[in-house]
């Protein structure tokens, strides 16, 4: 999958080093993520374009969500997404929180912290759920819910939502 870069808190697990070629489209981000995921037997799922990066869901051979990566637009580097994907990925540990309960917790958190937003779609990842957030029927962001503790983590690092494409 890659190697660890040492240094600051924002350093992450690199799946594919940047090649200096800017990534400006969802299809280009999908291609970079696919190249990074292929050696691990994974393939791309949903790709979301935000103002700060591209988010890509990686799936295993059976189609289950396995990992989340970001593609850096300026360089094409592919690395593990910040936050839950790095800190809550627990492999196959049993989930104490169901997807329905996670959705309820997320919606309650959004009512208090991001009024007008609600949970859209939910994806199950090892150790957590990642959910698109919507407002007025339009995707606006993402958050994750820990599958053991129910903690909610809003994805502030993406920036403004631009577009998405499901695989």
pLDDT tens-place string over residues 42-65:
999 999 999 999 999 999 999 999
Q: How many CA atoms lie within 13 A of 88 on its CB side?
A: 26
The helix (run of H) or strand (run of E) holding residue 100 is helix 99-113
pTM of the full structure: 0.89
What backbone torsions phi and psi does residue 164 show, to the nearest 5 degrees?
Answer: -145, 160
Each domain of the chain, given as residue ranges in start order, spans 3-89, 99-157
pLDDT tens-place string over residues 12-52:
589 999 999 999 999 999 999 999 999 999 999 999 999 99
Cα–Cα distance for residue pair 144/47, rounded to 1 Å: 16
Structure tokens at 163: 């577009």
* Beta carbons of 125 and 85 less than 8 angstroms apart: yes
């Amino acid at each position: 999958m890659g190697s660890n870069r040492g240094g600051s808190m924002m350093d992450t697990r690199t799946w594919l080093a940047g090649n200096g070629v800017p990534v400006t489209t969802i299809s280009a981000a999908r291609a970079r993520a696919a190249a990074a995921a292929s050696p691990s037997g994974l393939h791309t799922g949903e790709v979301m374009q935000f103002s700060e990066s591209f988010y890509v869901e990686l799936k295993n051979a059976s189609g289950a969500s396995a990992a989340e990566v970001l593609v850096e637009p300026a360089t094409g580097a592919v690395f593990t997404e910040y936050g839950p994907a790095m800190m809550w990925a627990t492999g196959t540990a049993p989930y104490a929180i169901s997807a329905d309960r996670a959705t309820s917790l997320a919606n309650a958190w959004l009512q208090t912290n991001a009024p007008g937003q609600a949970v859209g779609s939910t994806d199950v990842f090892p150790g957590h759920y990642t959910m698109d957030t919507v407002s007025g029927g339009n995707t606006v962001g993402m958050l994750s819910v820990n599958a053991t503790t129910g903690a909610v983590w809003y994805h502030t690092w993406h920036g403004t939502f631009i577009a998405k494409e499901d695989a």
